[in-house]
Amino acid sequence: MIDVKQHMMEHDHFARLLGMNIEVAEKGRSRVSMPLRRELCNGVGVAHGGAIFALADVAFGAAANSGQENAVVTMSSNIVYLQPGRVSPLVAEALVVRQGQHLGQYEVSVRDGAGTLVARCQSGGFVTDFRLDGK
């Protein structure tokens, strides 16, 4: 098995562009943080919904791909924005709800640096036939 945390930080250029840090990546769970920079805020000065969703998606990917030989990709996602994200950093935690042979379901919560629950996301993943190690 590959180290998903290291693999994603080396190969996920979008996550690096946004300044994300995969703090925990274990089979079925992850924790990913992202500084809330001015460039990631919307016109009213709070976290942009797209930045929040990107963080939730990376957290899902880290949790879903940990412990897998084949890559898991997002099949579907549903996000509900609950409160504005105002305080840096934003932190997403993903947990597996159900993992089958080909399909998995995950719940992701996103909080800001003050602990405010900013969003909840449900993501479904599909286990592909692409090996994570490139072999």
Q: Which two tokens stand for residue 68?
A: 């897998």
What pLDDT does residue 63 have?
98
What pLDDT does residue 135 have?
72
pTM reported for the whole predicted model: 0.96
CB 57 within 8 A of CB 124: no
CB 22 within 8 A of CB 30: yes
What pLDDT does residue 1 have?
73
What pLDDT does residue 120 have?
98
Per-residue pLDDT tens digits of the chain, which is 135 residues long = 789 889 888 989 999 999 999 999 999 999 999 999 999 999 999 999 999 999 999 999 999 999 999 999 999 999 999 999 999 999 999 999 999 999 999 999 999 999 999 999 999 999 999 998 877
Q: E strands, the chain, where?
A: 21-26, 29-34, 70-81, 90-99, 103-111, 117-131
Q: What is each CA distance from 92 to 20, 61, 97, 130, in whole angstroms?
A: 10, 11, 16, 26
What pLDDT does residue 45 have?
97
Q: Which residues, at least 6 apart from 64, have a Cβ–Cβ distance to it below 8 Å? A: 72, 94, 96, 104, 106, 123, 125
Q: Which two tokens stand for residue 89?
A: 């950093």
